Amino acid sequence: MAGEPQADCLFCKIVSGDVPATVVKETDTTVAFRDINPQAPTHVLVIPRVHYPDAASLAVAEPQIAADVLREAAEVAAQDKVDAGGYRIVFNTGSGAGQTVFHAHAHVLGGRGLNWPPG
């Protein structure tokens, strides 16, 4: 069924607790944890508990949960006190854009200068 956990998905395993993560915030629908290879002083991933391969397919199937991910991205930025300085929310979509884990996730990056365009 759409949204069901996938046995071969790393982030489904983080949701279930089978793979450990440094969780910084949880809600009924989302989990936020520190990226294992941080690209900024704050680099947190916010994921839905349900499995969809990317942000757009999540938004089509579960728009409220897509909104939850965005709200939690802002909450995590505030919790890490990077909101005043500005932060970036990134959804890499497709392997050509650097997506390596095909479970929707928002990168929340902050705490350093963020150039635009990001490259």
Sheet strands (E) in 7-104: 23-26, 30-34, 42-48, 87-90
Choose from Zn ion, ligand AMP, none: what does 35 bind? Cβ within 5-8 Å by kind. ligand AMP
How far apart (Å, rounded) are the C-alpha atoms in residues 42 and 74? 12
**Least distance from ligand AMP to the Cβ atom of residue 62, Å:** 19
DSSP states of 75-92 as a string? Answer: HHHHHTT-TTT-EEEE--
Task: Tell me whether residue 18 or residue 78 sits nearer to ligand AMP (CB atom).
Answer: 18
Residue 103 is a binding residue for Zn ion (CB under 5 A)? yes
Task: Tell me whether residue 54 or residue 84 sits nearer to ligand AMP (CB atom).
Answer: 54
Q: Which residues bind ligand AMP (CB under 6 A)?
A: 10, 19, 21, 33, 35-37, 45, 92, 98-101
Closest listed residue to residue 31, CA positions, set 1, 2, 59, 10: 10
Residue 89 β-bridge partners: 108
Task: Tell me whether residue 1 or residue 105 sits nearer to ligand AMP (CB atom).
Answer: 105
Told to judge if 43 belongs to the known catalytic residues of this protein, a careful annotator would answer no
List, by residue number, the catalytic residues.
Answer: 105
